[in-house]
Structure 1
């Protein structure tokens, strides 16, 4: 497995696979071919079907400027990966180079069939069972294990991730108005937050506050603002909402929250390595489901739970999102994505609470590794219409003016 830095990346929304990944591909082309006269880009699969709603064409054009470019949407040519794009570079009126990129989720890209760019194997273990056994043998907590593997600059990096997550919530809470696009969806994070503060019931207040934070970060993402992949931009509201709530409402210290963030990153890393975090590959179970699993592990750690309980929390968080489809209305990361982030943040706390007591009375029959494998198999079985194509589910039931 690679560094957890590949799970947490700061960049522009609304989609890590459809915005951030294509942006990085365009950056590579611009830097590699500074004398390019023109660039033709063809988007295939999910990038074609939902590229407009995800601002794929806009971010590519913006990144390639001032080089003249043309974006084409190919809805018919079959491709092995649904997030495939081709860049054709012209110099002196001739084709200088042709590169194929695949956006595999979380902003990571692969070029011309190679493994993910900027990737390097770092972790000696690739399953939770292996990590659990190693930690037990060496008397390590999961965050200590992460510190043992990552480089000396990792703490500095994680502090920047923490700050960016908190900032995404704060900015989202300060904004009102309508989100961009034909759905004309109102921002509601600020209104939800005000409603929460007027609640007399503390339990209800905390639940609404948490929801408002998830809405805040997710609305920032939907508006093309700067957010953090956790593990993707479509699920960027879950972890920041939990962090913000535990920091500002419950008073947890930043140092402990960052340790929890490391454990969440380890869970996301395992899911990406052994399955996928791409909605176009496996539906929203791979995005919001993965984020819920990460969040559950983080909360379990914050509550002082053991490694076994943390694993159980992560397993519960992912297991009960199995089969969750990705069906964005109009191709936008808005419906059902924003509300789904708020629900998953609540479920992460529920999963941690349940794991705390379940592991005291019985051994888990379903391991975290089993659920990750199941999620991957389920994703393969999901039809293409329910994997970020906007061709099924809510996307064909809920009215939208968005046209291809």
Structure 2
């Protein structure tokens, strides 16, 4: 049998560069040499930019470990089949929110409308069921919406056009039974957004300047139904009064309901979680991590062309090499270890600055309850900052059961004279500008 001499790797690479990605995967099944070249990083970088038509000035995602894996992630995981186009909005859409049942969703736009959509129509067609124009209330645009837990009410947050280019916002509550406006609540600044505390109460904010660079944020608890049931029942109640420094403000307020069987990892920062994972790794093979980069739970496999790879089409499945979790941990460590001295100094300053406004963490927040003593806990989460105006910290404050109703003392009457401001229970320093934050369905915190 006459053996065919192998082509130089450079020539094989030149051939593969002229093929589409599906043909490259096919060609990789030819032999070991062609398989190795078909996984070349330079090759997949060129395929990536050519296939997705992304400007080369746009870098690869920081969490991506290779061009090959990033191409696969976008190709296999990102939906690209357009089934319907909704054109009812006439300006930029700013926010979408799904109901807890998943049968409806709402959309907010710069056209100053909030629209409600139904996904349970025949043939899977999404239809518009309601639209509210908030311009009649002197709004600039709608920016955020949220369904309450039983999907009977919709909270809509928007920017209020006040005098002198005011930063005020407003929150409106709309009934989803008859689509009537139930209440309106002032919200300042508008990027507090507001959120539901429970089915019938929502949280808003108000900002008060008390110095050149210092202010305080008052968080209010509001009844969604601001009707008059009794002269002894409050429709609003001051929840917390928190000091802001360096011209920062509280933004992106949200509520997390932690069940008594949940782990306390919600209140651990990245370093604490890494240490906890190291201890748990001895008894567990894999432990989920908050604020983590995307990780793979599958073991690294030694792929060979004779294993019969198939094309990455929708009617086929491609077996691509997986990344070992230990290698991903090494990448995480490398990302975190950069500028160590600078981060240590910044963290030290943050602790000194935060010590005047933050008390020691409540042990009940970070330690699991003893058997039989566990109880559901509710936390208020928001972005804030102590070093700069830009939000770079996540503040956490526990909401006690007696604070979850507008009944009882109002306007801080329950606070003693020496406690002018409420202290935070925990602060997580992100060491960077927080541009977004959200909660997963199981109330784990996600930030960006």
Question: What interval of TM-score do these two structures reach, taking the shorter chain for normalisation?
Answer: under 0.3
Scaled by the length of structure 2, what TM-score is found? 0.22
Give the structure with the higher percent strand. Answer: 2
Q: Which has the higher contact order (CA 8 A, sep 6+)?
A: 1
Scaled by the length of structure 1, what TM-score is found? 0.23
Give the structure with the higher percent helix. Answer: 1
Structure with bigger gyration radius: 2
